[in-house]
Amino acid sequence: MTTRRPFPLAKVYGLLETGPVILLTTAHKERRNVMTLSWHLMMEFEPPLVGCIVSDRNYSFSLLKAAKSCVINIPTVELAEKVVRCGNTTGARTDKFKRFGLTPLPAQKVAAPLIGECYASLECRVADTRMVAKYGLFVLEVVQAWIDPGVKDPRTLHHRGHGRFMVGGKTIRLRSRMK
Amino acid sequence: MTTRRPFPLAKVYGLLETGPVILLTTAHKERRNVMTLSWHLMMEFEPPLVGCIVSDRNYSFSLLKAAKSCVINIPTVELAEKVVRCGNTTGARTDKFKRFGLTPLPAQKVAAPLIGECYASLECRVADTRMVAKYGLFVLEVVQAWIDPGVKDPRTLHHRGHGRFMVGGKTIRLRSRMK
């Protein structure tokens, strides 16, 4: 993703409200991880707030709690195999970046790395943890967004369960007053 | 949707974690409404919990709070025009079912109607309102699910902002241990 550019925070909702599978990266001290997840939602336009479920059974949970930050990376279908391998593997004994050939790039505002192979990356700070104990729901504020401007109609992955993924299709336009 | 059948609650996550636009129906006393929304996420597999943002600026807000229940209906691309018209219109002065030609069908366990034209409908009870004041986030428990079993690869709508919708494309299968 050598061509990535800053992306306006006000437009971040359009990247996530389609519901793509994301790769959540975390880092704290000597540890880092990549986690595949689909359970996220937009909660506010600007500053963009994103809710994400990270269970305490996930290795990323302790990294996210400790670092209080992360990066949401959005892969496209070319990465499908790596997305699944990240989801099938725990980071407790494996550096998934090395094992699966994902390129960590330094973020600007958080410790976790961007993933070079993803077309968009959103640097986030943890904004609210009050729903973590009961639901594993972290409220994240996106503080810096990056995009590959060459990707206009990203063929994102959308999990249907048990290894089935719907791949993002064509985009249609309708006359809408909705933001 | 004359062919709709009960759908196992344990499989509901696979319908929603792809991130489709949904039509949320509510009803209380003489009032009812349909609301278009994209800001939702899965929070638990079983019983299925779904988080949904409904702002207090939406007409559906007071109905959802009063009835403590609703139906999540999932439209496909054939309904795109009606989905947008529902999103462009407030229910305060309009019965959207009549105006846009949507067929209300009786639900089994809640007051709000199913939408006959949608391929899946999830009857929900409000399970937790503690995040409503701050974020408009309702935690819903799905108590009864319905599906048109003839729809195998639903061409769902995924909002990209300002009238642009990604239409669900083909489904691929990978070897995954993820649920």
- Asked whether residue A177 carries a pLDDT value surpassing 90, the answer given is no
Q: How far apart are CA A111 and CA A68, in angstroms?
A: 9
CB contact, 8 Å: A133 with chain B?
A: no
Per mean pLDDT, which range of B46-50, B77-81, B149-153 is the poorest? B149-153
User: What would the mean pLDDT of B77-105 be, rounded to a whole number?
Assistant: 95
A18 within 8 A of A168, measured Cβ to Cβ: yes
Using a CB-CB cut-off of 8 Å, the residues of chain B touching A162 are 14, 176, 178-179
Q: Which residue of B has its CA nearest to A21?
A: B18
Distance in Å, alpha carbon of A54 to nearest chain B alpha carbon: 10
Q: Which residue of B has its CA nearest to A136?
A: B43
User: What would the mean pLDDT of A23-48 be, rounded to a whole number?
Assistant: 97
Q: What is the mean pLDDT of chain A?
A: 96
Segment 56-75 of chain A within 8 Å of chain B by CB: none
Q: How far apart are CA A157 and CA A155, in angstroms?
A: 7
**Tell me, what's the pLDDT at B3?**
79
- Asked whether residue A91 carries a pLDDT value surpassing 80, the answer given is yes
Q: Which residue of A has its CA nearest to B44?
A: A135
Task: Give the predicted TM-score (pTM) of the model.
Answer: 0.97
- Cβ separation B173–A164 shorter than 8 A: yes
- Asked whether residue A30 carries a pLDDT value surpassing 60, the answer given is yes
Q: Could you please report the per-residue DSSP string of B96-144?
A: HHHHHT--EE--SSSSSPEETTSSEEEEEEEEE-TTHHHH-EEEEEEEE
Give the rounded percent of residues in chain B with a pLDDT score beyond 70.
99
Contacts of residue A94, Cβ cutoff 8 Å, sequence gap at least 6? none
User: What would the mean pLDDT of A162-166 be, rounded to a whole number?
Assistant: 96
- Residue in A19, A36, A88 nearest the CB of B19: A19
CB contact, 8 Å: A89 with chain B?
A: no
User: What would the mean pLDDT of A44-70 be, rounded to a whole number?
Assistant: 97
Residue of B42, B129, B159 to mutate, interface with A, max A Cβ within 10 Å: B159
CB contact, 8 Å: B106 with chain A?
A: no
- Residue in B41, B160, B172 nearest the CB of A80: B172
pLDDT tier for residue B36 given thresholds of 50, 70 and 90: very high
pLDDT tier for residue A2 given thresholds of 50, 70 and 90: low
User: What would the mean pLDDT of B116-129 be, rounded to a whole number?
Assistant: 98
Using a CB-CB cut-off of 8 Å, the residues of chain B touching A38 are 17-19, 42
Give the rounded percent of residues in chain A with a pLDDT score beyond 70.
99
pLDDT for B56-65, tens place per residue?
999 999 999 9
Six-digit token string for B152: 């195998």
CB contact, 8 Å: A41 with chain B?
A: yes
CB contact, 8 Å: B178 with chain A?
A: yes
**Tell me, what's the pLDDT at A64?**
98
pLDDT tier for residue B118 given thresholds of 50, 70 and 90: very high
- Asked whether residue A31 carries a pLDDT value surpassing 90, the answer given is yes
**Tell me, what's the pLDDT at A153?**
94
- Asked whether residue B1 carries a pLDDT value surpassing 60, the answer given is no
Q: How far apart are CA B35 and CA A100, in angstroms?
A: 42
- Asked whether residue B15 carries a pLDDT value surpassing 60, the answer given is yes
Q: What is the mean pLDDT of chain B?
A: 96
Using a CB-CB cut-off of 8 Å, the residues of chain B touching A155 are 169
- Asked whether residue A143 carries a pLDDT value surpassing 80, the answer given is yes
Distance in Å, alpha carbon of B129 to nearest chain A alpha carbon: 12
**Tell me, what's the pLDDT at B2?**
59
Strand (E) positions, chain A? Answer: 5-6, 22-28, 31-37, 40-44, 49-53, 69-74, 104-105, 114-115, 120-128, 137-147, 157-161, 164-173
**Tell me, what's the pLDDT at B178?**
87
